Structure 1
Amino acid sequence: MDALKKGWFSEICTLWPGMCLSLEVEEILHSEKSKYQDIMVLKTKSHGRVLTLDGIIQCTEADEFSYQEMISYLPLCSHPCPKKVLIIGGGDGGVAREVAKHPDVETIIQCEIDQRVVELSKEFLPFMATGFENPKLSLHIGDGFKFMGEHQREFDVIITDSSDPVGPAEALFEERYFHLMKNALRDGGIICSQAENIWGGSGLDIANRVYKYCQTLFSSAAYGYCLVPTYPTGLIGFVLGSLDSKTNFKEPLRILSNEEQEQMKLRYYSPDIHRSAFVLPRFARKVME
């Protein structure tokens, strides 16, 4: 609650020393400490409803779609036929909402460690939690490490929608986690994980570290990003890895037509945005390539 002063929420995190984002709060809709983390749902003046975990913004009603669409369609549109998808994390339901829209996806398995995040998202964030209602989805409450260790060579695409590498999500940024993902993929499978950003604090170091994991373990690898105004520095990155050496993440394999984009109600992702996501500024390219 220290982050709430005089009607404003401020995101203060050791990963981003010397900077924070503040949002004016109209109402605290919910606040509790679950088994794993502090959870708050806020009604803000400028960004609608906001979910925070351990004082860090996870999503806002105003801009969540950019992250959900990009972490979903960058890998899905890079795979020739992504029939079976695993989502690790994503307790707000946003990634499941987007993955279920993809025409080729038949089965979605989601593993989220904190059941309270799912329950509270269904109650307060229905615009995202609608993903849990899709018949393609089966939800498993439990540890992602253990789950993947029990599922070998099973998935076409694995998407890790994690919070920042502090608290329960820290293990999802370790090399052994990427080994588990690799082993859980079918031939030609693809992974996509949240990978911080290239600006400020520890961002570039973390992004480069997990990108190196992908380069080492997978036949093809890439780092891309999208714009999310309420995330630190205004953007968030993703690392992608493929077991197929012919995969070119910078050119979408599945081109969604304008009609499909309209039917899917996409607001951020497009084939052109897909291509541009992998164009890094010179300073980041020198470090990561």
Structure 2
Amino acid sequence: MEQKLKLWFTEHQTEDYGITFRVNHVYESEQTEFQRLEMVETDEFGTMLLLDGMVMTTDRDEFVYHEMVAHVPLFTHPNPKSVLVVGGGDGGVIREVLKHPSVEKAVLVEIDGKVIEYSKKYLPNIAGGLDDARVEVIVGDGFMHIAEAVNEYDVIMVDSTEPVGPAVNLFTKGFYSGISKALKEDGIFVAQSDNPWFTPELIRDVQRDVKEIFPITKLYIANVPTYPSGLWTFTIGSKKHDPLAVAPERFHEIETKYYTPELHTAAFALPKFVKDLTI
């Protein structure tokens, strides 16, 4: 009988709390130019991408995050043709973006090329869309790409890590102002904004900063088991279109595992302690 590898990995989500996985195999473990990158195999969640000791995505639950980042803004916008994804080198958000036939071009700007390389190799079900003809992949600084873009995108999605390391600048008011400039006159953006249990002040700060720039600013939630606390938030900023006023005929059928038109609305129904962070 084959004995399992007795190697356990713990992501310390706070100083006093962590989530632990048994690791069966380590495919890659490398200090890239920007961060510590590991690609490992687990029984419980399959292949797992770790950056600086934090779980970024897994085979088993990746669809929740990627679907909710992509489909909420894309169904809110009446005709999204040009889409930018900042970060997200694993390709999961791009995969979901490409399910929308109106999208003519999707640009991915990922600062760490190793994330793209290893995701294509070990997470093909997530990264497969990166080779699509509609996709332009840029290995570079998303902050600078935004700063140089003017009236270029219908939808911008910020698929970043937590605000540490290379992602620090992606949680600043200046970055949100740059996003507004890079968007067209009826553009929409969405960013992951962490969890309300361990980082409530981060959510409060993001909501405050985005509200000063976008007339329609809302918070929505999803359940991602491998992220801290499992309860994850997303902040959407829109110049014109309200995600809670999408006409029923705008929803078209796509293949999903988590997102539905009904959930599109329900995700904005917040527990009171989370809603209080938006005031």
TM-score (norm 2): 0.95
Task: Answer with 110-119 or 207-216: which moved more.
Answer: 207-216
Q: Which amino acid aligns with 2:270?
A: L
Q: For 2:107, what is the secondary structure of its paired residue? A: strand
Aligned to 2:216: 220
1:6 Cα deviation after fit: 4.6
Aligned to 2:232: 236
**How far apart are the structure 2 equivalents of 1:255 and 1:126?**
30
Aligned to 2:267: 277
Q: For 1:171, what is the secondary structure of its paired residue? A: helix
Q: Which amino acid aligns with 2:208?
A: K
Does the 8 Å CA contact 2:217/2:236 hold for their aligned counterparts? yes
1:44-59 equivalent positions in 2, closer than 5 A: 44-59=42-57
How many matched pairs? 274
Whether 1:288 aligns to 2:278 is yes
Q: Which amino acid aligns with 1:71?
A: V
Q: For 1:221, what is the secondary structure of its paired residue? A: strand
Q: Which amino acid aligns with 1:210?
A: V
Describe the superposition over 1:28-80 as per-residue Cα deviations: whole angstroms up to 9, x where unpaired. 11110100000001100111000000000000100000000000011111111
Which ranges of structure 1 fall in alignment gaps of 5 or more residues?
Answer: none
Q: Which amino acid aligns with 2:267?
A: A
Describe the superposition over 1:192-214 as per-residue Cα deviations: whole angstroms up to 9, x where unpaired. 01100111x2x211111111111
Alpha-carbon RMSD:
1.4
Describe the superposition over 1:198-237 as per-residue Cα deviations: whole angstroms up to 9, x where unpaired. 11x2x21111111111111011110111110111001211
Q: Which amino acid aligns with 1:226?
A: A
Q: For 1:69, what is the secondary structure of its paired residue? A: helix
Q: For 2:208, what is the secondary structure of its paired residue? A: helix
Describe the superposition over 1:230-271 as per-residue Cα deviations: whole angstroms up to 9, x where unpaired. 110012111111111xx22224346434xx23xxx2101111
**How far apart are the structure 1 equivalents of 2:194 and 2:271?**
16
Does the 8 Å CA contact 1:252/1:271 hold for their aligned counterparts? no
Aligned to 1:151: 149
1:131 Cα deviation after fit: 1.8
**How far apart are the structure 2 equivalents of 1:269 and 1:284?**
21
**How far apart are the structure 2 equivalents of 1:76 and 1:211?**
20
**How far apart are the structure 2 equivalents of 1:113 and 1:287?**
30
Q: For 2:236, what is the secondary structure of its paired residue? A: strand
Does the 8 Å CA contact 1:111/1:144 hold for their aligned counterparts? yes
Q: For 1:217, what is the secondary structure of its paired residue? A: coil
1:103 Cα deviation after fit: 2.0
Does the 8 Å CA contact 1:196/1:237 hold for their aligned counterparts? yes
Aligned to 1:189: 187
1:57-96 equivalent positions in 2, closer than 5 A: 57-96=55-94
Identity of aligned residues (%): 37
Which ranges of structure 2 fall in alignment gaps of 5 or more residues?
Answer: none
Does the 8 Å CA contact 1:252/1:274 hold for their aligned counterparts? no
Aligned to 1:7: 7
Aligned to 2:242: 248
Whether 1:210 aligns to 2:206 is yes
Aligned to 1:111: 109
Does the 8 Å CA contact 1:251/1:274 hold for their aligned counterparts? no
**How far apart are the structure 1 equivalents of 2:245 and 2:11?**
35
Q: Which amino acid aligns with 2:251?
A: L
Q: Which amino acid aligns with 1:144?
A: G
Moved over 2 A (4+): 250-257
1:287 Cα deviation after fit: 3.0
Does the 8 Å CA contact 2:6/2:23 hold for their aligned counterparts? no
TM-score (norm 1): 0.92
